[in-house]
Amino acid sequence: MDSSIAQQSMPARLILENGLEFSGFSFGSENPVAGEVVFNTGMTGYPETFTDPSYRGQILTLTYPLLGNYGVPSDKKNMNFPANFESSRVQISGLLISDYSFQHSHWNAAQSLGDWLRTNQIPALYGIDTRQVTKVLREKGTMLGKIEIDAQTVDFYNPNLDNLVSTVSISEPHLYGKGSTRIALIDCGCKINIIRSLLQRGVQVWRVPWDYDLSKEKFDGLVISNGPGDPKMCRQTILQIRKTIASDIPVFGICLGHQLLALAAGANTYKLKYGHRSQNQPVIEVNTNRCLITSQNHGFAVDNQTLPKEWSAWFVNLNDQTNEGIRHSSGRFRSVQFHPEASPGPVDAAYLFDDFLKVVGV
């Protein structure tokens, strides 16, 4: 199907809020869209990346030049979850790439990337000078942008002014697994592999909405998931985390969950110039020689200078020295800015799930 589309691809363009325009051709859905333009330097793993709810509201630029060559796998289930994706739908608002492979080939491919994006109504452009777009975002910082196709127009939109977490969290609690230890998981836009990683370790996972009242419930540990947008929008989640800490129940935060734990502890967060989005981010554990290569996707960070007494930095990013983790002196409350569940990316940090569950008592 995509080979015929190659002959009739519509001209399209990216327009940045500073007035810069980049021309390309459409290979996805042909509706205009607006959002925050960001870039990812990962080389593989686009099915997992595009279905990560942390990308809600964002137009994603990929620095790797060729996309679509291995197509998209099927939506078959594993442990009652999508086996090949991190949520039930494509989460990015739009896609920008340099070159698109209209012919795909892979033993696990069920459809082309273009067909998948059209089914999910996600516009995508190829022929974009992604090197220049990335250079602009690195120098000027992340900015708003919009994709316009065939003279269709749309207004600029800043997703960080909305509570994006409320749009990607589940609406009702769900219980998974049959372990004797119950881990409550606050779903702020949870990647499926966080749930898989916990279930594989023999615990019961109780997944709850972002604003669920945990105060009258019984559980042995709390995990706060990843998610999109500004963490300060999630005031109800921050309140629940504070109550859990006051009850001395072990807590582990991941990505947005890391930022929320920091806010609950009394620290501050701030917006990064262009964020960290890739599967090759090096971090080092403070006061050790242990370095991990990690998968990351975030636009905000924790301010080390605002960490309260009894809290300290746990990991630091080796590229820009920003905070990558915090922990309490008791050892019962901790979080990381990166993704120990990977998917996509290296599994260097998977042991952090084991360490947390040891604190819980598993």
Please give the positions annotated as active site.
255, 339, 341
Residue 311 neighbours by CB under 8 Å, 6+ apart? 262, 265, 267, 326, 327, 328, 329
Q: Do 336 and 258 contact (CB within 8 A), yes or no?
A: yes
Q: Distance between CA 197 and CA 190 in Å, rounded?
A: 12
Q: Which stretches of 41-121 are assigned E, i.e. beta strand?
A: 58-62, 66-67, 72-73, 77-78, 81-82, 94-96, 99-100, 109-111
Phi, psi of 233 (to 5 degrees): -75, -15
Beta strand 99-100 with 66-67 is: parallel
> Can you tell me which residue has the tokens 């935060």?
253
Place of tokens 């608002």: 93
**Distances in Å between the alpha carbon of 314 and those of 241, 247, 287, 293, 295?**
19, 23, 9, 15, 17
- Can you read off the two tokens belonging to residue 39? 């870039």
| Nearest residue to 61 via CA among 42, 43, 38 | 38
Tokens of residue 213, six digits = 């009242």
Angle at 346 between CA 340 and CA 347, to 5 degrees: 45
The residue type at 240: Q
Q: Are strands 143-149 and 11-16 parallel, antiparallel or unpaired?
A: antiparallel
